[in-house]
Amino acid sequence: MEKTQVSMSSDLQKFIDKFEPSKFKLMAKGIEIRGINDLHRNIAQAKDLIERMKLKLIVSHNAEMISYGGFEVNNL
């Protein structure tokens, strides 16, 4: 099995530096943030940070992610 190198965009790195997630997983299209207790508040803060910093990122989440307290921040 061949392992591919995943690169991180500068906008995504800026987001990580400011948001400071305790647990996240790097994926091909962005990151998945896990282990969030107050999911609604953290998603709102992530969206606000992206808007204020004018980053080319989007927050996405679904019902499955709620079960483990997670959401994704992906490159546009």
Q: What is the pLDDT of residue 59?
A: 97
Quick check: 11 and 52 in contact, CB under 8 A?
no
Query: What CA–CA distance (Å, rounded) separates 18 from 50?
Result: 10
In a domain, residue 56? The reply is: yes
pTM of the model: 0.86
Q: What is the pLDDT of residue 6?
A: 61
CATH of the domain at 51: 3.90.1070
Instruction: Name the band, by pLDDT with cuts 50, 70 and 90, for residue 76.
Output: very high
In a domain, residue 38? The reply is: yes
Tens digits of per-residue pLDDT, 2-51? 555 667 899 999 999 999 998 999 998 999 999 888 999 999 999 999 99
**Domain count of the chain?**
1
| Chain center to CA of 18 | 12
In a domain, residue 2? The reply is: no
Domain of 16 in residue numbering reads as 10-75
Q: What is the pLDDT of residue 22?
A: 87
In a domain, residue 5? The reply is: no
In a domain, residue 1? The reply is: no
In a domain, residue 69? The reply is: yes
